[in-house]
Amino acid sequence: MSNADWMQRDLRHVWHPCTQMKDHEQLPLVPIRRGQGLWLEDFDGKRYLDGISSWWVNLFGHANPELNAALSQQADTLEHVILAGFTHQAIIELSERLVALAPPGLEKCFYADNGSSGIEVALKMSLHAWRNLNKPEKTRFIALENSYHGETIGALGVTDIPLFSETYKPMLQAPLRAPSPDASLRREGETCADVARRAMAGMEQLLQDHAHEVAAVIVEPLIQGAAGMRMYNPIYLTLLREACDRHGVHLIADEIAVGFGRTGTFFACEQANISPDFLVLSKGLTAGYLPMSVVMTSNVIYDIFYDRYETLRGFLHSHSYTGNALAARVALASLDIFARDDVIVANQARSLAMAQALAPLHDHPHIHHIRQTGMVAAFDLVRDKANGTPYDWRERRGLAVFQAALKRGLLLRPIGNVVYFMPPYIITAEQIRWMVATAVEAINEALAAPASDSAELGPSIA
Ligand SMILES: Cc1ncc(COP(=O)(O)O)c(C=O)c1O
């Protein structure tokens, strides 16, 4: 069967995520037959380099033989067991390994099924901890402008991307919003650290006014991903940790997207030398194989729930697949690769190759704000670079780039006018050069086309 056949069958019964389904009257779906390493292959035999790690999850390539072997061995032994009242070897070993890798003081691991449900756990745990401490008034959260924390109700509440949250506003608890430390907001003469300090002043004011009713501050450390790879200086996190301590408010670090080496260190928080009260991990946790998330916290928080007499002081949250053995086993195999291949160090050469490939783009008339943190690089497409005038979202230039790149065998998924690269950690310097050069060709084609080509479609989304 061809791509077209599979697409026709798909559209009868499959409702796709983050998609206005009517778009597929014009935009072909890409049915993938198999994946191998960096490459995805469709049913017409065309191959695509996965430049976005399939929504930021894949670390060591598709159908990785080592991960496959670990998975199949685990499947032959134990695929899953209820984690309430029972336990198993993979989850014990994974928890030990994560605690050894995490910033100091994070000693307990609570598992959930995906990023958003991990965020729900962190929010609930923070609120519940304050309740157990006889501070039931601490029920609010502070989140940053342009934040993204997922799409379940609690997570969407602290998300600041109206495209995703506006419709559901009646269901959401509105958080307090602090200014984003996004380095691209720097004013004339300001450094990235200056922007971070300026944003921190806004956060400080919120904490001063509201700490008595605030359970936690939640942030995406170093990169606000879904808002368009907005990057910021680690000083913000150092100052934030200090302010949260001073005001008696928890700090939740959502490292769902940036954990496991994306920012150049194993965890982004390391660059600010801080330990959050809650560290939320998912995506790269299982190297892109299976949905799993974990909330890591301290013994101090854990002890607040520990009580002989009162069940309700315990954290009664549960998911059927909590601590799934297959997911835990593949996560362990992924950590083995990190250790054996010294991946964080090896990625320094990859990051440098990305920086070198991007350097000539500074002269491109429509590429602005080139930025990079570790293994994540991004830039904005602008109509007029001198004034930084963006393309109108209705022109859907990002979508046109997606299509032009796909035609050339490269999977990119621009967020609005932001083009970014977040490849798996098996990419070579030569493949990086090809990826960036191909992206530029795609951009040139997309920007040369009349805007009306795609103007009938809605905004292009993450
Ligand atoms: C920072 C961040 N938090 C939370 C999530 C939600 O994770 P999931 O899509 O697994 O629910 C994402 C997903 O992109 C994310 O980037």
Q: Is 230 left (phi over 0), alpha (psi -120 to 50) or beta?
A: beta
Return the residue whose CA atom lies nearest to atom 10 of ligand 1: 115
Considering the domain architecture, whether residues 307 and 375 belong to the same structural domain is answered as no
Q: Find where tokens 């929010």 sit.
A: 123
Question: What CATH number did the domain enclosing 35 receive?
Answer: 3.90.1150.10
Question: What's the 252 CA to ligand 1 centre distance in angstroms?
Answer: 14
Among 303, 325, 340, which residue terminates a domain? Answer: 340
461 occurs within a structural domain: no
Token digits for 119?
């965020």
CA of 286 to the centre of ligand 1 (A): 14
Q: Which domain holds residue 14?
A: 3-63+342-453
More confident: 449 or 129: 129
In the predicted model, what is the mean pLDDT of residues 59-79?
Answer: 98
Instruction: Clarify whether residues 330 and 445 are in a common domain.
Output: no
Give the confidence band of 229 by pLDDT, cuts at 50, 70, 90.
very high
Position 457 scores a pLDDT of 52
Q: Are 127 and 139 in contact (CB under 8 A)?
A: yes
Identify whether residues 141 and 222 lie together within a single domain: yes
Give the model confidence (pLDDT) of 85-111 as tens digits: 999 999 999 999 999 999 999 999 999
**Nearest residue by C-alpha to atom 7 in ligand 1:** 115
Question: Which tokens in the block code for residue 50?
Answer: 């996965």
Q: What residue has token string 């930025």?
A: 371
Q: Which of 219, 282, 321, 420 to mutate to test the pocket of ligand 1 (most atoms within 8 A of CB)?
A: 282
What's the CA-to-centroid distance between 283 and ligand 1, angstroms? 8
Q: If you take atom 4 of ligand 1, which residue's CA is the nearest one?
A: 149
Residue with the nearest Cα to atom 13 of ligand 1? 150
41 and 185 in a common domain? no
Q: What is the pTM of this model?
A: 0.97
Q: What is the DSSP letter of 114?
A: S
- Cα 157 to ligand 1 centre (Å): 13
Say if ligand 1 is within 6 A of residue 415 CB: no
DSSP string computed for 363-416: G-TTEEEEEEETTEEEEEEEEETTTTEEPPGGG-HHHHHHHHHHHTTEE---BT
**How far apart are the CA of 451 and the centre of ligand 1, in A?**
31
Residues 71 and 51 grouped into a single domain: no
How far apart, in Å, are the Cα atoms of 16 and each of 8, 29, 461? 14, 10, 13
Confidence of residue 387 (pLDDT cuts 50, 70, 90): confident
For 8, residues 6+ apart whose C-beta sits below 8 A from its C-beta are: none
Same domain, 296 and 216: yes
In terms of domains, do 171 and 236 share one?
yes
Q: Is residue 460 part of a domain?
A: no
User: What is each CA distance from 109 to 91, 92, 106, 211, in whole angstroms?
Assistant: 10, 10, 8, 27
**How many folded domains does the chain comprise?**
2
Q: Examine the fold and report which residue of 340, 362, 383 is the final residue of a domain before the chain moves on.
A: 340
Question: Within a domain: residue 459?
Answer: no
Is 135 a member of any domain? yes
CA distance 13 to 11: 6
**Main-chain dihedrals φ then ψ at residue 214, nearest 5 degrees:** -100, 130
The helix/strand/coil state of 119 is helix
Residue 9 has pLDDT above 80, yes or no: yes
Looking at the domain assignment, is residue 301 inside a domain?
yes
